[in-house]
Structure 1
Amino acid sequence: MSNRYISFLFLLLVAIFLAACSSNATYKQGEEKKKVNLLFNFATSSLDPNVDTSYVSLRAGITETLVHLNDTNLTIEPWLAKSWDSKDGQIWKIELRDGVTFQNGKTMNGSAVKASLERAIKDSRAIKNALRIESIEANANTLTIKTTVPFPEFPSELVHPNTSIIDVTETDYINKPIGTGPFAVSSFTPGTAVDLIRYDGYWNGPAKLESARFSFNADANARSLALQSGAADIVFRPAVESLENLKAVKGVTIDSTSTFRVHQMTMNLERKPLQDVNVRKAVDALIDRKAIVETILKGHAEVAAGPFPSTFSFAPDYPEKKSGLEAARTYLKEAGYTEANGVMQKNGEPLTFKLLTYSSRADLPLIAQVFQSDAGKLGINVKIQLIEKPEEYMAANRDWDLTTYSNLTAPRGDAGYYLNATFHPKGALNFSGADDDKLTSLIDELNATVGQEKRSVIAEKIAMYVDEQVYNSFVLHPNTLVAYKSDKVKNWMTSRSEYYMLTNELDVNK
């Protein structure tokens, strides 16, 4: 064998050995890569942070808002804004944080934030109505914002996920919004998942994770199974009936945390039967709240007397209500209905309800079925329709009577958000079509009031009036349920506001 051939063979073996080493190193590096997969209950077809009602961009750490909610004490605190001030509640000076960059490396300054807020106002009716901005001026890192009316609680509205700040010069908002958060979008498959990579230039220190996946599945049982099989590391709202099995899995922790959410029966006040307060009282009386909490939620909820959990200062002490089949029958009799041949009717017209529900919150269809069964005992025909996107459907269609719906009521520790959104004629979530001059006047008074004590008094008065008129029925306040692999995941915090999930502090054990 020639020396030349031996040399060639030696070089070839060295190359193979180095390639094998390289391959092995890559494999180990891949194994050790810090990554988590969070499985969420709402799918989204868009990451546009200014209009997406699933708030995925904020929850996944892609975007941030000017103001942050402290989940512990329910106070607002600086985030992208370092301070704000107003002498009259109408003209606001906002100082932006220095040294913040977007995920494309561009500096976040006053002009960029102005453009982002103006884009949000233009594209989102909800944000336009919530912020009530008349004008914005930018000078370096200072914003001067004038609202249409004195609005003392304006800064708290800047917590809303749809006010997220993005670089509007990067226009693929649906697939790849460019925010200031710790994670940038790597890829997005609508309805399936968004894959994320660490943004090393993040102003508050690079994320401990190198990458993450924020995936979606509306099936609560499938989410639970994904955690058990190892396909997911963190699961938002696992199936309640699976909790005991999950608790038995080594290394799994379950958080059950009180939140600011209410499950309600939204009533379409444009439908003739529901324009009678006695019919609305009958609907309310048919809801067996205690049984629903105990059987469907397995105790992971609080019975609701109104929209706000009892821990809030603006949750009134409501008068005791009549409930049950006989109470509902009495209310219907007062509304002119009689039961004939097993059918509840008035002037020969049977009482029927079209009830909407959606499966991404697994308990809502079950609540709808319980209501359907109980209403049937009074001869009321309830037809249940499963929908995918409740906000879009209720806004675009008025052919329904009732909807089992879930909403955050005081995510900023204040009643203003829910009352404005749900009961003001211009409210983005006013799906019931409430347009009551007295109610609107009270909400306008709340909006102009400074100081939590004074605001709580007015909010309590509004809540009592809503209760008297039975503008929607309030069923329960569900706990936020999160199951996660605590033997792998470090620094996970279950947010009471449900806004903050993938953060720069989230980590995994090696």
Structure 2
Amino acid sequence: MDDVGRRQFLTLLGGAVLIAGCAPGGPGSGSGQDSPLSAAFNQAINDLDPHGPSAVDEASLLANRQIYDTLVTRNGTEPAPSLATSWTRPDDKTWVFTLREDVTFHDGSKLTSADVKASLDRLVKSTGPQKPLWAAVDSVEAPDARTVKITTTEPLGAMLVNLTLAFILPAAQMGRSGFFRKPVGSGPFAVESFTPSSQLVLTPVQDYWGGAPTLRGLRLPYIPEASTRMTALQNGEVDVTWIIPPDELQRLRQVSGISVESTPGLNYFLTWFNCGRKPFSDPKVRRALHHALDVKGIVANLYGEAATVMDAPIPSSVFGHAPQQPYAHDPDLAKKELAEAGYADGIRTSMMWFRDTGPLATELAQSFISAWAKVGVVVEPQQIEKAAWIKRLTALDWDIELQVNTVTTADADYTLGRLYTSEANRMGYANKELDAILAQAKSTADQERRKALYGQACEIIWSDAVGVFPASLAATYGVRSTVKNFRPAGNSQPEFRTVSADHA
């Protein structure tokens, strides 16, 4: 453990001891049954506004799923009731939801259709990253306390999938100043304390409508250093952690009292080219950079069993995935294509990423940069802070960028329909044919038709070489044997209501 990681870890641990009121050693280390379970992710929870600028960040969604509820949830790949007991679709542009009667917020107030309407109205009007998902919503009505009616300007086939991200807040409070420092929801856990980018401490809601949590408490600390998290897991200061670096997997499997649990992941690496900036406005250049890479070899060398080489711009576990023909590793062809595009003398460019975007991100970036250098493409590495990366990403102030993305809903519309339209303009790419296909896929309720259309979208994005999509990451968790009923989540957003832990 390096000095910085050790200092950060001890600071977090000390805070947990004070909050839990237990002896030094922290949760999971024999400190008593009143200790909260500690679950450490490698990304920071920056805010608790489920409709705000962090609305699709994995860390924020992890927190939101404990604190708030949605109308609809998922049971495997199928939508299932949550706050809504049932729904109907009277016509292609209308959805009617019937609400549960036994739901209260953490402050004791009763949840009604007015809260749902106010929350959905706020989400529709937001300028955050969820905005494209709700562009087709025309109105939200609450004709009575248990009924919500959503009308769209065109059919919205992804309505139920999107609603799994629409967290409901109390209408009377969500506009209050400082509300999101200690927000009120209707979920299984209530906020006890929150220090942005440090830790979130939650307490169980005993009268939760879905059944009281088993845990005495839940602590979500931010521990970015993988070595620090692995040491904390082994020592018992952390009960559950993820993401696990590939080089730690085999070793962790040999540690007594710890199990490694995996499920197909929804997280994946992508490298976008800024298609609105030369030389990457030329698809021949983008394809040349593909051919310069031995993606299969790079992924196998870095990740082994912890990742799978991708064959589409979305992981194979996502609805709408369609496999494409991999780009052959052919440096000579890459040089030929660069020459045909007018770059026989090579290219000088840059690539940006932030360190904690994913496991071995820097090593992956360096592998790409090294391969591109061999065909005359000199890439300046730019590892920057996340805040600067986000600012430059949204301003299209970059040449090439590397990140980990998550298809949170496991539906192609969340990624393809949200990020790849001309209007979204997330990577300077515009394709009217693709726009039309994505619009059709969004509007149809025929799921087989949606799947076929997203398959066409996968083909266009892949063949136009908008980016390189190297690896889909397995969702792998390290879990102490004292933890029971934990279910790994492919989107890095496990839910803890039914989890129990024996800290005695």
Q: What TM-score bracket applies, with the shorter chain setting the length?
A: 0.7 to 0.9
Secondary structure of 2:192 counterpart? strand
Q: Which residue of 2 is the match for residue 437 of structure 1?
A: 432
On the 8 A contact 1:357/1:403 being kept in 2, the answer is no
Which consecutive residues of structure 2, in runs of 5 or more, have no partner in the other structure? 1-20, 24-29
Q: Hey, what's the Cα distance between the residues in 2 that align with 1:334 and 1:371?
A: 22
Which string of whole-angstrom CA distances, capped at 9 and with x for unpartnered residues, describes residues 354-382 of structure 1?
A: 33343241222221110111112223221
Q: Which residue of 1 is the match for residue 397 of structure 2?
A: 399
1:383 and 2:380 aligned: yes
Q: Which residue of 2 is the match for residue 408 of structure 1?
A: 406
1:11-410 equivalences under 5 Å are 31-51=32-52, 52=54, 53-56=56-59, 58-60=61-63, 61-70=66-75, 72=76, 74-131=77-134, 132-138=136-142, 139-160=144-165, 163-170=166-173, 171=176, 172-310=178-316, 314-339=320-345, 344=346, 350-389=347-386, 392-409=390-407
On the 8 A contact 1:219/1:362 being kept in 2, the answer is no
On the 8 A contact 2:351/2:402 being kept in 1, the answer is no
Q: Which residue of 1 is the match for residue 472 of structure 2?
A: 477
The one-letter code matched in structure 2 to 1:448 is: S
Q: Which residue of 2 is the match for residue 15 of structure 1?
A: none
Q: Hey, what's the Cα distance between the residues in 2 that align with 1:199 and 1:416?
A: 34
1:490 and 2:484 aligned: yes
Could you tell which deviates more after superposition, 180-189 or 78-87? 78-87
Which string of whole-angstrom CA distances, capped at 9 and with x for unpartnered residues, describes residues 155-208 of structure 1?
A: 211112xx2112243333431121111111111111110011111221111110
Which string of whole-angstrom CA distances, capped at 9 and with x for unpartnered residues, describes residues 15-43 of structure 1?
A: xxxxxxxxxx998x972215210001111
Give 1:419's match in structure 2, choosing from 416, 420, 426.
416
On the 8 A contact 1:357/1:384 being kept in 2, the answer is no
Residues 1:360 and 1:322: Cα distance change in structure 2 (over 3 Å):
closer
1:508 and 2:483 aligned: no
Q: Hey, what's the Cα distance between the residues in 2 that align with 1:65 and 1:394?
A: 32
Which string of whole-angstrom CA distances, capped at 9 and with x for unpartnered residues, describes residues 220-254 of structure 1?
A: 22221221222211111122212222222211011
Which consecutive residues of structure 1, in runs of 5 or more, have no partner in the other structure? 1-24, 345-349
Count of residue pairs the alignment pairs up: 467
Q: Which residue of 1 is the match for residue 7 of structure 2?
A: none
Q: Which residue of 2 is the match for residue 6 of structure 1?
A: none
Q: Hey, what's the Cα distance between the residues in 2 that align with 1:365 and 1:210?
A: 38
Q: How many angstroms does 1:308 deviate by?
A: 2.9
Q: Hey, what's the Cα distance between the residues in 2 that align with 1:26 and 1:215?
A: 17
On the 8 A contact 2:293/2:372 being kept in 1, the answer is no
Residues 1:369 and 1:233: Cα distance change in structure 2 (over 3 Å):
same
The one-letter code matched in structure 2 to 1:496 is: G
Q: Hey, what's the Cα distance between the residues in 2 that align with 1:247 and 1:322?
A: 35
Q: Hey, what's the Cα distance between the residues in 2 that align with 1:312 and 1:46?
A: 27
Secondary structure of 1:495 counterpart? coil
Q: How many angstroms does 1:447 deviate by?
A: 1.5
Q: How many angstroms does 1:284 deviate by?
A: 1.6
Q: How many angstroms does 1:437 deviate by?
A: 1.1
| CA RMSD after TM alignment | 2.3
Q: Hey, what's the Cα distance between the residues in 2 that align with 1:309 and 1:319?
A: 15
The one-letter code matched in structure 1 to 2:397 is: D
Q: How many angstroms does 1:46 deviate by?
A: 1.1
**Structure 2 length-normalised TM:** 0.87
The one-letter code matched in structure 1 to 2:49 is: D
On the 8 A contact 1:86/1:93 being kept in 2, the answer is yes
Percent identity for Structure 1 against Structure 2: 28
Residues 1:319 and 1:45: Cα distance change in structure 2 (over 3 Å):
closer
